[in-house]
Amino acid sequence: MTDRDYFTADTHFNHGMIIKYSGRELFMTPEDLESYEAMRATGDQQAYMDWRPSAKSRENMDEAMIENINAVVPADATLWHLGDFVFAKRAPETVKYRDAINCKDIRLIWGNHDRRKTYLPGVFQAYYESTMIYVFNDVTLTEAQVQACGSLRKKLRRALSKKNVQPIMLSHYAHATWMGSYKGWFQLYGHSHGGLQKFMDEHMPNALSMDIGVDCNNFMPLSFSQIVDILGQKRQDKPKHVIDHHGVWTFPPKRVVSGDLT
């Protein structure tokens, strides 16, 4: 199956300081890398606060991530960007980075660093706070599309019963639970730049969710197939992600008090 949907997050185009905050050493000029490592070796908080990457390192980062997106995402595919697309004070900066991407259909899930006034209508195909999407064999539908059409809801229910659709919740932020989280529905998120992984491994090892941000994925978007390979394998290998009353079937029903499901 040819992939129709691609996912990424936290590109932070035009944001030089993210090179320091997220340790994006890959894009540093040799001079920046040398001074960065010297700064780290001091272990000094003030030295860390004072260190700034050069404009050239930021340009390296921006160019490399644009190249990566254009190399992977076909122009006629849909790129779901899960927030923090660009650091921009004015709309032309946002437009410049959007126009450098060949994909015609980019959907943005708002991130906390996305200044909404810089995202003009039509620059991206659509904007969402968060959304559930349903990836069928032949079409991808958003929750709003499903809710707006009765016949689509019937089609969705039939497809879900046959398991030939993958629901995915898209949000800038990681969630503990989401619609269908206990029965194999996925969640993709950004925001944490890989910093949540230890918590997830310790406290939510069975969650079918992942940080789709560039810092966790070699600064590349991932296709729907790649997501299914990763989370689908986890679905096979792990018990279901049941951390509240959803997915806990008892009769007679028990009251849930303070998370006590026993």
Interface residues toward Fe ion, by CB under 5 A? 10, 84
CB of 172 to Fe ion, least distance (A): 8
- Residue 187: phi, psi to the nearest 5? -135, 135
Identity of the residue, 87 or 185, whose beta carbon is nearer to Fe ion in the bound complex: 87
Q: How far apart are CA 12 and CA 86, in angstroms?
A: 5
Identity of the residue, 94 or 166, whose beta carbon is nearer to Fe ion in the bound complex: 94
Which residue's CB atom is positioned nearest to Fe ion? Answer: 84
- Residue 146: phi, psi to the nearest 5? -65, -45
CB of 260 to Fe ion, least distance (A): 36
Bridge partners of residue 132, in order along the sequence: 169
- Check the CA dihedral 129-245-187-207 and report its sign: positive
CB of 73 to Fe ion, least distance (A): 20
Identity of the residue, 111 or 167, whose beta carbon is nearer to Fe ion in the bound complex: 111
Q: How far apart are CA 1 and CA 224, in angstroms?
A: 10
Bridge partners of residue 171, in order along the sequence: 130
Q: How far apart are CA 23 and CA 9, in angstroms?
A: 16
Identity of the residue, 7 or 134, whose beta carbon is nearer to Fe ion in the bound complex: 7
CB of 83 to Fe ion, least distance (A): 7
